[in-house]
Chains A and B, each alone.
Chain A
Amino acid sequence: MSDAATLEAQVAHDDHGDHGGHGGNGAGHPPTTTGLSHNKLGMWLFLGSECLLFGGLISTYMLYRGRASENLGPDQIYDLPFTSVSSFVLLMSSLTMVLAVSAAGRKDVRNVKLWLTVTALLGATFVGGQVYEFTSFYREGLGFTTSLFSSSFYALTGFHGVHVSVGIIMLLAVVGMISRDRIPGDRAEVVELVGLYWHFVDIVWIVIFTLVYLIPA
């Protein structure tokens, strides 16, 4: 091995000791080949993968949206003004989320907690709206097994609702863990990762809102 390479490796090496770690212990990340954090790469891969999950559910819905029992089809049952409002709420939760991430970048803990909590509340409003929507559909006679339309509608929006709920739990958990200082590793990155997940859930809804609610069957 040439001396130059050895020297270079030695330099690289001094910072290399932590190579096995991920998330680390508050001392930041060990250097990586791409210079990017493991967690963020992993999260983006996961979101890429989720595209195919929601794609499958959306396609199932698109295939079956016209196969409804009479008077309980998509064009009769949707309450567009109501859903528009709850879509707007979810959209605005993306704004509050990005403000939390931005505050985390400034290490402004108070605002991080504030905006995360607001995001969780907006998310909860959205889920509450969805529960209300499902209940009123059910009262009108649209059960899960009523028709292919209803099964695929509930499967798609239900999956999305579960994703939002998981997001709310994560947001509140992060707020709690920041308050008690129990986050191992990089706090700003944890907020950013939760933020990526949250925005993803929002963009899925952007697609669902147009394809499911706005475009008539």
Chain B
Amino acid sequence: MSESTTLDETATGTDATAQHSPEPPDDGHAHGATDGQYIVIALILAVITAAEVSLSYMDVGPIFIPALLVMMAVKFVIVVSYFMHLKFDNRIFSFLFYSGLLLALGVYVLALATFEFFA
């Protein structure tokens, strides 16, 4: 992975995308977590998964589904942010991925709402 400084930048003062990378762009290796931290993250994920599974054997009333959805979202964000380095990487990557994700969430929730799925 080459750490390419863009010489264009000097001439590109107003570039919205370019403003993110005045310093050499981060390719994920330099600022990512260490192997030990990855193992800790994986353990956290495992614990959440265990909590999810045990929750489905318990009767916790109305918070059951919200709790599961929150844990799902937390796992999702942890994997995306740390394992996929999105937290450390250039914001353009986050923009591209989360646009797709939020768009998917928006249109499909809206479509299911017209089926009165949530009623």
Contacts and interface: CB of A to CB of B under 8 A. Distances in A.
A–B direct contact (CB < 8 Å): yes
Interface of A: 5, 8-9, 11-12, 15, 28-37, 40-41, 44-45, 47-52, 54-56, 58-59, 62-63, 80-81, 84, 87-88, 91-92, 94-95, 97-99, 101-102, 105-106, 186, 188-189, 192, 195-196, 199-200, 202-203, 206-207, 209-211, 214-215
A48 B79 contact: no
A59 B115 CA distance: 11
Contacts of B93: 36, 40-41, 44
A31 B4 contact: yes
Binding site of B, secondary structure by majority: helix, strand, loop or mixed?
Answer: helix
Interface of B: 1-2, 4-12, 15, 17-18, 20-21, 24-25, 27-29, 32, 34-35, 38-39, 41-42, 45-46, 49, 52-53, 55-56, 65, 68-69, 71-72, 75-76, 79-80, 82-84, 90, 92-93, 96-101, 103-105, 107-108, 111-112, 115, 117
Contacts of B15: 33
B29 A102 contact: yes
A28 B2 contact: yes
Contact of A34 (B29, B80, B92): B92
Binding site of A, secondary structure by majority: helix, strand, loop or mixed?
Answer: helix
Given A31-B6, A99-B35, A203-B79, A80 B53 contact: yes
Nearest to A40: B93
Contacts, number: 181
